[in-house]
Structure 1
Amino acid sequence: MKPTKDDHAVVDLLDVILRDGVILQADVIITVADIPLVGLSLRAALAGMSTMTDYGYFEEWDAAQRQLARAPNEHPLLPDDG
């Protein structure tokens, strides 16, 4: 059986990531001459906004952006036209 090139694989992967989400986690220790100098603990969540809000991430930001989209002239930081 020969391997085939699937052009839709990237699109399918992106669809799954946006629909279901993914958590990336990395622990890194930077050393010089076997002496640990800096330790990093990194964690990132990647998903579509509907998935993020379903899990409780960015709920306040999403609500504020939706409110701004409904009434852009009522934003407190934008200058008043009148």
Structure 2
Amino acid sequence: MKPVKNDTHAVVELVDVLLRDGAVIQADAIITVAGIPLVGLSLRAAIAGMTTMTEYGLFEQWDTDRRRELRHEKS
């Protein structure tokens, strides 16, 4: 079997998957000094295309409002 060169780049594939399927990143951290906890962080980010976001119920109101604004601008 002969090796085949793939013209698609990994970054392009990654962006395609993120926009199509989405990803959720969650991180928790506690900042301490001398063993004393000072600051707690809880971070969560959802990354996806708007179509995917609205399918999962995120940004529905924003999307509806924005589409309404665009319709008013066109008329």
Compute the RMSD of aligned alpha carbons: 2.2
Relative contact order: is structure 1 or structure 2 higher (C-alpha 8 Å, sep ≥ 6)?
Answer: 2
Pairs within 5 Å for 1:1-82: 8-72=9-73
Partner SS, residue 67 of structure 1: helix
Counterpart-to-counterpart distance in 2, 1:9 and 1:73: 39
TM-score, normalised relative to structure 2 = 0.85
Number of residue equivalences: 71
State the SS of the aligned residue for 1:24.
strand
How many angstroms does 1:67 deviate by?
0.6
User: What percentage of residue pairs aligned between the two structures are identical?
Assistant: 64
**TM-score, normalised with respect to structure 1:** 0.78
Q: Post-superposition, which runs of at least 4 consecutive aligned residues in structure 1 deviate over 2 A?
A: none
Unmatched tracts of structure 2, length 5 or more: none
